[in-house]
Structure 1
């Protein structure tokens, strides 16, 4: 029986492993909270309801969490970064700016902070920082000259 030598656990590998777990955890919390809150926002509606948008965010964040853990490719990390950054940007925009209805999107202006919103911000920032770490510490493939 032939055994391959174990790869050394370099500080970079440990950092990336921790970043993956933190990114997935942040995205999972984001997914859970959006799914949990969705029914409360079904009445805020234009062509599409805010509750439906929350369900979409929950599904996309859950997919991103899974991809960060399982697929481990730059594309998965970039997708996760986009989900976290986009969710955070939307939350902050609708917290501070009364955008009104935008096409099929309802007016989601909500100028208040509450526990679940605070937790979503923390989860999205955690995911964003962790995925940024993954993207910035990715090894570049060397191509023959």
Structure 2
């Protein structure tokens, strides 16, 4: 495995773990109560586990690619966090505004909350990941 690939995969694992902890807390403390009160009748009785896992696998890859950017050693932390915030904003806005546009009872409160969460979560995960992996991100071994 090339050093660049190993660097990317290490960053992916670290970011995935951080995002998992953060998102579980968000879901339990904010999203579930909000969704139940606003759009509870639209929710499935159980989470579709394969769909959820696929979302996390793909989403974290995007966050690492557009936010943390492990193979860009000269990138400032501010640039990494800004890229992540934009990635989170656009991806969560896609979901939330589509739901708001096509689902009869999808509320503006849920849409706005989700969009803000996407930008904030990606920013925090990128900031923490980049801080934890600071030395690794400062150098990229030649492939």
Q: TM-score range by the shorter chain?
A: 0.3 to 0.5
Using the size of structure 1 for normalisation, the TM-score is 0.36
Relative contact order (C-alpha < 8 Å, sep 6+): which is higher?
A: 2
The structure that has the greater radius of gyration is 1
Using the size of structure 2 for normalisation, the TM-score is 0.37
Bigger helix share? 2
